[in-house]
Amino acid sequence: MVRQAQVNGLIYGLAENLIPNGVAILQYADDTIICLKDDIVVARNMKLLLYLYEVMSGLKINFAKSEIIMINGDNDKHMVYVDLFNCQTGMYPIKYLGVPVSPGRLHVKDWTPLIEKNEKKLSSWKGSSLSIAGRLTLINSSLSSTFIYHMSMYQLPKTITENFFLAK
């Protein structure tokens, strides 16, 4: 339905210079990100498509759990979209597949949940009866892979690497 709406010029996604009519929907498991041009008519068309999807599939979209996040939009326009979709207002960075995502650079505070999660893992291992080799194996298999996963998208800030890795 979405592709057909794009072909007919009813909706336009982002990155039209890379993909004809742009990317309108990104999906993974039960997460959906809808990327639309800043155009109220296009947004209304997408809302209609979502209602049609509900009618055709029998599934219900929970707009109360959904968020509108704008890239470089003013607050008044943001509220128009929030009212149209009857959902919450969101802000960057968003968390997608466990990684913070933002159109700009991530700040040190955006990495805090990752640090806290790993410190929690370390604290539970400190009191356990694991040998040094066992602890090293757990660190190498669990903690390093978590940071590597995040670093596949972003370079960790210098303060994070200094504070976490050197303090341990």
Rounded-to-integer distance, Cα 1 and Cα 166, Å? 52
**Helix/strand/coil (H/E/C) assignment for every residue in 29-95:** CCEEEECCCCCHHHHHHHHHHHHHHHHHHCCCCCHHHCEECCCCCCHHHHHHHHHHHCCEECCCCEE
Same domain? For 82 and 161 the reply is no
Beta-bridged to residue 96, according to DSSP, are 99
Instruction: Round to whole Å and give the CA distance between 116 and 3.
Output: 42
Residue 141 sits in the same domain as residue 117: yes
Does 153 have pLDDT greater than 60?
yes
Distance (Å, whole) CA 31 – CA 45:
21
Between 3-7, 130-134, 164-168, the lowest mean confidence (pLDDT) is in: 164-168
44 shares its domain with 87: yes
157: part of which helix (H) or strand (E)? none
One domain, residues 86 and 101 = no
* Nearest alpha carbon to residue 86 among 74, 70, 68, 73: 68
Domain count, the chain: 2
Structural domain for 138, as ranges: 96-165
**DSSP tag of 156:** P
Residue 34 clears pLDDT 60, i.e. is over it: yes
Would the pTM of this model clear 0.75, i.e. be above it? Answer: no
Domain endpoint, select from 31, 64, 91 = 91
Last residue of a domain, one of 28, 59, 91: 91
Query: Are 76 and 123 members of one domain?
Result: no
Looking at the fold, whether 59 and 119 belong to one and the same domain comes out as no
Is there a single domain that holds both residue 120 and residue 154?
A: yes
Residue 162, pLDDT score: 72
Same domain for 128 and 75: no
Distance, C-alpha 98 to centroid of its chain: 8
Q: Are 84 and 116 in contact (CB under 8 A)?
A: no
- Based on the domain organization, do 155 and 78 belong to the same domain? no
State which of 37, 70, 91 marks the end of a domain.
Answer: 91
Same domain, 106 and 133: yes
What does the pLDDT average to over 109-135?
Answer: 74
pLDDT band at 24 (very low <50, low <70, confident <90, very high): confident
Residue 168 pLDDT > 60: no
11 and 82 share one domain: yes
Output the average pLDDT for the chain: 81
DSSP character at residue 122: H
pLDDT of 100 reads 81
Q: What's the mean pLDDT in 60-79?
A: 86
Q: What is the pLDDT of residue 167?
A: 52
Please check whether residues 10 and 78 belong to one and the same domain. yes
pLDDT over threshold 70, residue 19: yes
